[in-house]
Structure 1
Amino acid sequence: MSVPNAASLKVDRSAKTLRELSLEKMRDAILNDHFKPGERLVERTLCAQLDVSRSIVREVLRHLETEGLVESIPYQGPVVARLDSGQAAQIYEIRALLEGHAARLCAEKASDDMIARLSELNDRIHAAFGRNDFAEVMARTADFYEAMFAGSGMTVAWGVVQSLNARINRLRAVTISSTGRRADAAAEMARLVKALKDRDPDAAQDASQAHVRHVAAIAAKRLAELG
């Protein structure tokens, strides 16, 4: 996974708003481990790196705090949030419940076109793994789950998942490059897609929850190694 340098954080003023671009740059920098857990985020330094005003930097840091990527420490200021194994376990438990039920409902009532879309996205995830393009893996994985929730009709549940997306993606960044993950992920996702194609709600729910449980175990091990 590529790590941005200070120059690459500079914002292109021609697209979106400066706040949106700055937020994307900072979020990606944290997910890519450019800023380490516990590292202080100094406003003046970030203003220079992003080439934006201090007010924008403050807005971005406040937003990242709501996403769980930044925390404010008394007498120290904002720092990159440390990965907490207890919180990670809760996030995976929520994922297992919501994604499992979404998979069940998707198998029951998604359109044939939606099932085909999910199969296509899974193929793209597998291809990205083959290129070691982990950014693409994460992007297409997010697309897969968005489509699965859309197919299930669970729009409110998807909103809950989206509120955790930054932390989910941070955990994905920890687990995605682990040894053997490519083969395991391919097998797990193939099982899920087959269950969806077979219109088998029980198998779809089981496959989805088994996938989350496996990733949760990998994350717990990696977080223990990281201290």
Structure 2
Amino acid sequence: MSPKGSSSLKIDRSVKTLRELTLEKMRDAILSAYFKPGERLVERSLCEELGVSRSIVREVLRHLETEGLVESIPHQGPVVATLDADKAAQIYEIRALLEGHAARLCAERADDETIVRLAAINEEIQAAFARNDFHEVLASTSAFYELMFEGSGQTMAWEIVQSLNARINRLRAMTISSAGRATEAAAEMRLLVEALKRRDPQSAHDASVAHVKRVADIAARKLAEMADASPAADLEAAPAALAGSD
């Protein structure tokens, strides 16, 4: 792979460790389709683009492999993992089970401050949608669910979700750019937040599960379209605006 002729992947070393910054940059580059599914990730080219050592690149690629974003192909080396429809369906099944249960318990157990914060984060998500800031949509959505699981007391369940978080966000990056998705998502999340405010466990559970099932349907359709696309077609539906984000 030849360098893409862009400095968008260069690392700002002022805050986090170089390895952490490189990992975040590479993860964002995959989520944004800067690197396409199936694209080879050549260490030397990545060193040049990122401005880091080969040892850091190797560590980061190994970490991304554990997250399911990179896979090693015999006689070819690391490549961006392809999006698998069957695995995606399983991820959404797990999400529906865990998020639905967490929403139910959050409505029962969370303190008032947590509910207020969840409502505020949801407002941030919708504001990010309105300005087409999909990177912020992903970040705020992750923060919403982390707080909901925390408020429900389901810390072990959140650890399971975190282990899938990179793949969840990759699918989320694909679905949030769908036509009309911003309006749909706002309505779905509003139902969830209102149920939490009312302390209505069953409605919170149902709203959470309905939201997951809807995005599962969108993802299944998009993955089917990708499978039918010609090799020359763009294989990733995530918005280009994410590319090179910090």
Question: TM-score when scaled to structure 2?
Answer: 0.89
Superposition deviation, residue 136 in structure 1: 1.0
Partner residue, 1:86:
86
Percent identity for Structure 1 against Structure 2: 72
| Aligned counterparts of 1:178 and 1:212: Cα–Cα separation in 2 | 15
Count of equivalent residues: 224
Instruction: Give structure 2 stretches of 5+ with no counterpart.
Output: 228-246
> 2:123 is aligned with what amino acid?
D
Partner Cα separation in structure 2 for residue 119 and residue 5 of structure 1: 42
Structure 1 Cα separation of the partners of residues 12 and 128 of structure 2:
27
Structure 1 residue 180: deviation in Å?
1.1
State the Cα deviation string for residues 156-198 of structure 1 (Å, max 9, x = none): 0000000100000000110001011011101100000011011
1:156 equivalent to 2:150? Answer no
C-alpha displacement at 1:5, in angstroms? Answer: 6.8
SS at match of 1:71: strand
User: Counterpart of 1:177?
Assistant: 177
Amino acid across the alignment from 2:196: L
Q: Which aligned segments of 4 or more residues in structure 1 are displaced greater than 4 angstroms?
A: none
Equivalent residues in 2 for 1:201-216, closer than 5 Å = 201-216=201-216
TM-score by length of 1: 0.97
Task: Measure the CA separation in 2 of the matches of 1:25 and 1:121.
Answer: 24
- Paired residue secondary structure (1:8): coil
Deviations along 1:103-151, one digit per CA (max 9) or x if unpaired, are 0000001000000001111111111111111111111111100110010
Q: Distance in 2 between matches of 1:13 and 1:154?
A: 35
User: Within 2, Cα distance between the matches of 1:140 and 1:5?
Assistant: 31
1:187 alignment counterpart: 187
Uncovered stretches (5+) of structure 1, i.e. residues with no partner: none
Give 1:200's aligned residue.
200
- The secondary structure found in structure 2 opposite 1:78 is strand
Classify the secondary structure of the residue corresponding to 1:14: coil
How much does 1:10 deviate?
A: 1.2
What is the CA distance between 1:14 and its match in structure 2? 2.6
Distance in 2, matches of 1:24 and 1:68, equals 15
Mapped to 2, the partners of 1:139 and 1:5 lie a distance apart of: 28
- Quote the Cα distance in structure 1 between the aligned partners of 2:33 and 2:9: 13
- Residue number in structure 2 paired with 1:8: 8
Is structure 2 residue 67 aligned with structure 1 residue 67? yes
| Letter of the structure 1 residue corresponding to residue 85 of structure 2 | S
Q: Does 1:29 align with 2:29?
A: yes
What is the alpha-carbon distance in structure 1 between the residues aligned to residue 161 and residue 71 of structure 2? 20
CA distance in 2: counterparts of 1:209 and 1:5, whole angstroms: 43
CA displacement at 1:13 relative to structure 2: 2.6
CA RMSD of aligned residues (A): 1.0
Partner of 2:241: none
Identify if the C-alpha distance between structure 1 residues 21 and 5 changes in structure 2 by more than 3 Å, giving closer, same or farther. Answer: farther
SS of corresponding position for 1:40: coil
Question: 1: CA distance between counterparts of 2:160 and 2:5?
Answer: 33
What corresponds to 1:102 in structure 2? 102
Q: Residues of 1 paired with 2:138 and 2:20: CA distance?
A: 20
**Separation (CA, whole Å) in 2 of partners of 1:12 and 1:124:** 26
1:47–1:62 CA distance, 2 compared to 1 (3 A): same
Distance 1:138 1:5, change over 3 A: farther
Aligned to 2:38: 38
The one of the two structures with greater contact order (alpha-carbon pairs below 8 A, sep at least 6) is: 2
Give the Cα–Cα distance (whole angstroms) in 1 for the partners of residues 75 and 147 of structure 2. Answer: 44
